[in-house]
Structure 1
């Protein structure tokens, strides 16, 4: 018998057709991992005593819900949070990118790429004139690819941009089906330093409900998902249909 307070590493991976865990990835620091289990029941009362006492309870269903709080901004965590496809954006050299027309001094424009360098703007005259950096335009943010126009007098629009962009990774929201993950907690009971292992075979997550994009403290986000029934693992009495908790024998 022991009190308990668990910590440990949370791993998430795909579930193979044979029911096993495939290529797990450590989720980084996870300060909260909870499992909620519930049943759906229907009660009935008797009608022969005159007191209408509860006479039966029919179990109609069993559900389990997992909640995970992620502290770390990692690719797999981000993709799961926003149901995203992870897109690799190669470095590129761009020429002749046409900006919107009728720009005025003080207007900002965003280039199609991000993480840009060596930006050159030209106009659309028969013999194109090159705009002067610092006089005709300035780079507001090379990270976002934002440019401010300072002087457009005597220039023929639309302007055209040439620049280089760096390698980047993108996450496109709601372009991937709801993520289903096999969750493994490689844990330890900090009360007595005994190991504990928790496995949940099929966790299907909802998108993140609240993702703080600007905040004063360290950010984190919570994902909630349903633990689905695994018919394959359910056939093994040592595994069960949802998951299991394993600890060392006495």
Structure 2
């Protein structure tokens, strides 16, 4: 019998996700403040009915599910897409000429079709550009459009806006519900001089976040859950069809 060696853990590392239906391979999720594995246990108990006072005669535990909870600090478009079961795309900026809109009432917001470059010129006119409206008098520019002021733009008026749109990233939510992934953790144990601490989760599904804040006092983060499923492509009596953890000696 070997001498007991205490081993402590202080983990750091990067998680990777691979769409099992795709060819892009394992892609990093970036900075995560927590990645934690959990088991859901179903417990059945047999009470002792033979003796006064009761107690347990037997107990059986079975695992209902295995999950990994990930708290993301890296909220780039790809991760926001993962958090919202969406799809991220790149949009190339360009000159937008005579983009037409119908306003509501004075005081209402008019959202542009693309992300505007507010450091460049924005022109607002009526249809056909017979009248050019004045910023600060007829409208106020905002991050994604303009607010109609109590000026020359009438309620329900048709207007045209010309501007330069920025390069942007768009996430269309709820487009990829049910996608299957492989999840890999390329980690280390700071308590053991940074020795590798790795995890492979063969077949998984992502549950979208239950909270993605749009206004925060501190750095934002969001949490999602990875449910680990049985992978029948893994063979061998000593190999798990769910996940494996590798720790350097």
Residue matched to 1:12: 17
Find the residue that maps to 1:121 and give its secondary structure: strand
Which TM-score applies when normalising by structure 1? 0.80
Is 1:36 matched up with 2:44?
A: no
2 CA distance for matches of 1:180 and 1:85?
A: 14
2 CA distance for matches of 1:156 and 1:7?
A: 56
Identify unmatched segments of 5+ residues in structure 2: 1-5
- Aligned counterpart in structure 1 of residue 28 of structure 2, from 12, 26, 29: 26
Residue matched to 1:121: 124
Residue matched to 1:134: 135
Residue matched to 1:225: 226
Find the residue that maps to 1:83 and give its secondary structure: coil
Is 1:215 matched up with 2:207?
A: no
Residue matched to 2:75: 73
- Aligned counterpart in structure 1 of residue 8 of structure 2, from 3, 22, 25: 3
1 CA distance for matches of 2:50 and 2:156?
A: 94
Correspondence 1:85-164 to 2 at 5 A: 85-101=87-103, 103-104=105-106, 106-116=107-117, 117-124=120-127, 128-134=129-135, 137-141=138-142, 143-149=143-149, 151-152=151-152, 157-164=157-164
What root-mean-square deviation, in Å, do the aligned CA atoms of Structure 1 and Structure 2 show? 3.2
Which TM-score applies when normalising by structure 2? 0.80
2 CA distance for matches of 1:115 and 1:6?
A: 42
Residue matched to 1:82: 84
Q: Is the 8 A contact 1:131 1:137 kept in 2?
A: no
Relative distance call for 1:42 and 1:90 in structure 2 (3 A) is same
Q: How far does residue 54 in structure 1 lie from its aligned partner after superposition?
A: 3.6
Between 114-123 and 208-217, the greater mean CA deviation after superposition: 114-123
Residue matched to 2:3: none
Q: Is the 8 A contact 2:77 2:170 kept in 1?
A: no
Relative distance call for 1:135 and 1:67 in structure 2 (3 A) is closer
